[in-house]
Amino acid sequence: MNPFAGLLAAASQNELFYVWNQATLEAKIIIVILAIFSIFAWSTMAQKALQMRRAKRLNRHFSEEFRNQKSVFTIFDKRLNVEGCPLFSVYQDGCIELDSRLRRGGESRRHHLSLKSMEHVKRVLEGSVAREALRLESGLILLAIAVSGAPFLGLLGTVWGVMAAFSGIAAAAAKGGRADLASMAPGVAAALITTVAGLLVAIPSMFGYNWLVHTLRVLTVELDNFAQSLVSRMETEFLREDE
């Protein structure tokens, strides 16, 4: 084991404790707030990453299964429930609406559907796509707040700390005390730690937010494409324009 590594770690730890002890009460409050932001940001990134990864996997399996079906209602008639699959949720909502319109006025499904009824099914599918996109997007606002708000909170703590340091130096000088760099450095160093804390919260949140937004955009495009493909199959099987 390298003895210098232990000395460097101890020095770094002592430095952090020293800066923390020199920080003002306002700076400590801001650092605690930033720590809470960091906890929420990391938990949101982990939760959304797992959710979107599961959604992508289930979408891939469902899309392959759907393409192999001979009829639109094949999967729907099996009364399956695929929790967490956006494509299945859109498919189920569309099939429920189509089934209700095909059964209108009777117990068995009719073989054809009017153009007006198909327009209603399309609107249901559009609403279902929007709901699934919003469900996948929920929680990203916390990351956006962390990305945009954490640096400003850190800057606020730094400005506040520097102002307090200069005020203390000015008060000490007025009473005949020292007003040099050695007496000012601890307060300025303690003030800068809030900016460091803000950046430590904002930088990982920014990378996580950009990755999640890109993944969300891909999933939303998949939902739109699937909805259009589903409508095309429904029209091919059931649409009768002259009805």
pLDDT of residue 192: 82
Candidates 132, 128, 130, 141; CA nearest to 212 is 141
**Domain-by-domain residue ranges, the chain?**
22-238
Report CA-CA distances (Å) from 18 to 26, 190, 232. 16, 8, 68
Residue 49 CB neighbour total at 10 angstroms = 14
* Helix, strand, coil percent values for the chain (each to nearest 5): 80, 0, 15
Q: Give the model confidence (pLDDT) of 87-133 as tens digits.
A: 999 999 999 998 888 887 667 777 787 888 888 999 999 999 999 99
Q: Give the model confidence (pLDDT) of 125-172 as tens digits.
A: 999 999 999 999 988 988 998 999 999 998 888 888 888 777 777 776
Angle value at C-alpha 51, between 49 and 52, nearest 5 degrees: 65
> Residue 89 corresponds to which tokens in the numbers above?
């949720």
**Distance from first CA to last CA of the chain, Å, rounded?**
84
Distance CA 235, CA 112 (A): 9
Q: Give the model confidence (pLDDT) of 41-84 as tens digits.
A: 999 999 999 999 999 999 999 998 888 888 888 888 888 888 88
Instruction: Answer yes or no: is pLDDT of 5 > 50.
Output: no
Instruction: Answer yes or no: is pLDDT of 27 > 50.
Output: yes
